[in-house]
Amino acid sequence: MGYRVAVVGATGNVGREMLDILAERAFPADEVVAVASRRSQGVECSYGEKTLKVKALEHCDFSDIDICLMSAGSAVSKEWSPRIAAQGAVVIDNSSCWRLDPDVPLVVPEVNADAVAGFRKKNIIANPNCSTAQLVVALKPLHDKARIKRVVVATYQSVSGAGKEAMDELFGQTRAIYVTDPIEPKKFPKRIAFNVIPQCDAFMEDGFTREEWKMVAETKKILDPKIKLVATCVRVPVFISHSEAVNIEFEQPISAEEAREVLRNAPGCVVIDRRETGGYVTPFEAAGEDATYISRVREDPTIDNGLVLWVVSDNLRKGAALNAVQIAECLINRKLIEAKRKAA
């Protein structure tokens, strides 16, 4: 098949997961190149049973690369994605840098796979924010069935969504509490161990945070600009997987049983909703899994045509790395790209 794939940010939370997922899914790659900052040059990363030596971004030649999976943050993407794209590699970016650019498709393959075809304008495709990805996977089949008017969502976001240093901070603070060491918040604005913080990303003028705004704007771009959405994004002391309490108002009637049936047959969704103690999915159980889990589906008695659900997914997989690899698979399966070099 002969595809050459670069993973930029290979030493990070998302990048490591990308390498694992490429190997797990037997992605048709002849060669995978691990790339990170100069700090990590020569560091070893696992790719299936192989070990890759990390190259520094500045020293990388992308002229032979077909697909570049990018997860090195917005500033790096802003500078490097156009340069890599100009060398003929399709960049699939995980940062927020290109998501709302009208010339860049924002894609969740279960929801709007056809949008990938628009990648040629900039040779860049964007992945949504992790909280948006799992939300739209669950909303899409319900929207097709009963037309969503409005969504109210509260998130319970794991620390891995803020990068590897954020995971270290939760671990370090938890340990410090047990040995009565002082706690000094760095990545998070307040102590995260044994606490919850109603702030993900920076504040905007209207009082919402950027994370909350991203969920609104990205849901509109991916699913339907007519959907009204309001979010409260909260960081919780969980290592992996984001959870969301989602309240949905529809144009047409839809019962909880109909919703469960629709979701059971929807791509990427798994319904676990036994309506008994423990009969739902928690973030711990979703970690390392590909599915978006839906539990606690109920009719909302306070409005006409309303449902309430609980949605959980691994933010590093469906929220980032898995979604990026699925986009790359879409490009290949739809024959939208060809390998630059044929296999030997």
Q: Which of 34, 65, 76, 92 binds ligand NAP (CB under 6 A)?
A: 76
Q: Which of 5, 20, 71, 246 binds ligand NAP (CB under 6 A)?
A: 71
- The residue number with the shortest CB distance to ligand NAP is 12
- Closest of 82, 123, 62, 85 to residue 341, by C-alpha: 62
- Closest of 21, 50, 265, 42 to residue 140, by C-alpha: 265
Instruction: Look up 269 and say whether it is catalytic.
Output: no
User: CA 184 from chain center: how many Å?
Assistant: 29
325 CB burial (10 A radius; 0-12, 13-18, 19+): buried
Strand partners, 293: 270, 312
CB-wise, 95 or 243, nearer to ligand NAP?
95
Residue with tokens 């319904």: 271
| By the rule CB under 6 A, 136 interacts with ligand NAP | no
| By the rule CB under 6 A, 106 interacts with ligand NAP | no
| By the rule CB under 6 A, 37 interacts with ligand NAP | yes
| By the rule CB under 6 A, 13 interacts with ligand NAP | yes
- We find the least distance from the C-beta atom of residue 343 to ligand NAP, in angstroms, to be 28
Integer CA distances (angstroms), 341 to 66, 129, 344, in order = 9, 33, 9
| By the rule CB under 6 A, 173 interacts with ligand NAP | no
| By the rule CB under 6 A, 160 interacts with ligand NAP | yes
| By the rule CB under 6 A, 164 interacts with ligand NAP | yes
CB-wise, 40 or 155, nearer to ligand NAP?
40
Q: In what order do the strands lie in the sheet with 29-36?
A: 55-56, 29-36, 3-8, 67-70, 90-93, 124-126
- We find the least distance from the C-beta atom of residue 35 to ligand NAP, in angstroms, to be 7
DSSP-assigned states of every residue in 53-65: EPEEGGG---TT-
CB-wise, 146 or 320, nearer to ligand NAP?
320
| By the rule CB under 6 A, 39 interacts with ligand NAP | yes
Q: What mask, x for binding ligand NAP by CB under 6 A, covers residues 177 to 216?
A: ----------------------------------------
Q: Which of 68, 97, 200, 242 is catalytic?
A: 242
The residue type at 118: G
Q: Which two tokens stand for residue 129?
A: 């924010």
- Rounded distance, CA 139 to CA 175, Å? 38
- CB burial string 312-323: b at 16+ within 10 A, e below: bbbbbbbbbbbb
Q: Which one of the spans 36-44, 82-90, 272-280, 325-333 is the region binding ligand NAP (CB under 6 A)?
A: 36-44
Instruction: Look up 59 and say whether it is catalytic.
Output: no
Q: Which residues bind ligand NAP (CB under 6 A)?
A: 9-15, 36-37, 39-40, 57, 71-74, 76, 94-95, 129-130, 160-161, 163-164, 315-316, 319-320
Catalytic positions, written as ranges = 130, 242
